[in-house]
Amino acid sequence: MKIDLHCHSPTSDGMLAPDELVQRAHDRGIRLLSLTDHDTVAGIGQASSKAQELGLHLVNGVELSCNWGGATIHILGYDFCLQNNVLNELFEQMHEARWLRAKEIDRRLEKAGFAGCLEGAQQLQKHQAMPPARPHFASFMVNKGYVSDHGQAFKKWLGAGKLGDVKQHWPELEKIMHCLVTADARISLAHPYQYNFTNSKRRRLVAQFKELGGEAVEVSNGMQPPDQVAVLSKMATDFALKVTAGSDFHAPHQFAEIGSYRTPGKGLDYLWHDFVLPEEFTPAMGAQ
């Protein structure tokens, strides 16, 4: 059974509608999927309907942003109760925070001479009720001729440390973990190598994450270098944590294709074993 436990739709910063994403996953042989949009579950209803139609096993998912040690980190929650009031209140708060961020990005870009960015970014979204993210701003800037391509948009205006890189005041790790635990979520630490941490700081994060109720580490995120997958796999073993993996898919043929990631090594305790019956599972996962 091919598996992907990390992907995004336009309800956060992906490009394929939830039903289109599920169809693409199914067409590529994936049979266990989790839609993990940033700080929202708005796409799960549509994704679930399509998954049922296709016979694909969809697990409730979300990727929540939080603050730890002065840095933004991401936590993946799976198989939680969608009706949990504590978690839904958190989603509402983060939705409002993302709108404020989008408006600030627009204000800064307009001051730099780029008019109409917020409205233009919204028009490029399939879910216009959601706050546009930086990829949507980048697409508008390309279409308008403000920049030549997405790479230039991020390199000059939207990337880390640039004018449009508006810092978000996310909740602390403790609050995010509390909300997920309250909703009976299965919890994994997303892409630990994407944080600019020393190895000792990364291990401190994993230790606190486990103390707060975390049970898995995402050891493979897209076509991550094999040496990083090996280090994270050992870290999961050292801390007696399960592992997850996923493509971190955002758009067709962009960065990572859905279902494509380095296959973790043998001898690990996979969180996704808990989502499927033993006779349904085979080790044909992801991509080498």
pLDDT digits (tens, 9 = 90+) for 53-73: 999 999 999 999 999 988 999
Residue listed under structure tokens 């995402």: 218
Enclosing domain of residue 225? 2-84+172-280
Cα–Cα dist 231/157, whole Å: 34
Tell me the pairing of strands 57-68 and 71-78: antiparallel
Query: 97 and 6, same structural domain?
Result: no
Query: In terms of pLDDT, which residue wins out, 182 or 127?
Result: 182
200 — pLDDT class (breaks 50, 70, 90): very high
Contact residues for 42 (Cβ-Cβ < 8 A; gap 6+):
11, 127, 129, 130
Query: 187 and 263, same structural domain?
Result: yes
Mean pLDDT (whole number) for 20-49? 95
Query: 237 and 185, same structural domain?
Result: yes
The pTM for the full model equals: 0.87
Does 274 fall in a domain? yes
The answer to whether the beta carbons of residues 32 and 276 sit under 8 Å apart is yes
One-letter amino acid for residue 244 of the chain: T
In sequence order, what are the beta bridge partners of 251? 254
Query: 187 and 73, same structural domain?
Result: yes
Query: 198 and 244, same structural domain?
Result: yes
Helix pair 173-182, 199-211: axis angle to 10 deg = 40
Number of domains in the chain: 2
Please provide the DSSP assignment of the chain as one string.
-EEE--B--TTTT-SS-HHHHHHHHHHTTEEEEEE--BT--TTHHHHHHHHHHHT-EEEEEEEEEEEETTEEEEEEEES--TT-HHHHHHHHHHHHHHHHHHHHHHHHHHHTT-TTHHHHHHHT-SSTTSPP-HHHHHHHHHHHTSSSSHHHHIIIIISTTSTT-PPP-PPBHHHHHHHHHHTT-EEEE--GGGS---HHHHHHHHHHHHHTT--EEEEEESS--HHHHHHHHHHHHHTT-EEEEE--B-BTTBSS-TT--BPP-TT--BGGGGGS-GGG--S--SB-
pLDDT exceeds cutoff 70 at 26: yes
Cα–Cα dist 203/177, whole Å: 17
Sign of the Cα torsion 149, 151, 155, 160 reads positive
Average pLDDT of the chain to the nearest whole number: 91
- Write the Ramachandran bin of 50: left for phi over 0, alpha for psi from -120 to 50, otherwise beta: alpha
Query: 211 and 110, same structural domain?
Result: no
Does 285 fall in a domain? no
In sequence order, what are the beta bridge partners of 71? 68
- CATH of residue 139's domain is 1.10.150.650
Does 165 fall in a domain? no
pLDDT exceeds cutoff 80 at 123: yes
pLDDT exceeds cutoff 80 at 126: no
Query: 188 and 154, same structural domain?
Result: no
pLDDT exceeds cutoff 60 at 283: no
Does 167 fall in a domain? no
Domain boundary among the residues 135, 158, 181 is at 158
Domain boundary among the residues 100, 128, 158 is at 158
Domain boundary among the residues 125, 158, 191 is at 158
Query: 141 and 192, same structural domain?
Result: no
- CATH of residue 53's domain is 3.20.20.140
pLDDT exceeds cutoff 70 at 114: yes
In sequence order, what are the beta bridge partners of 34? 59
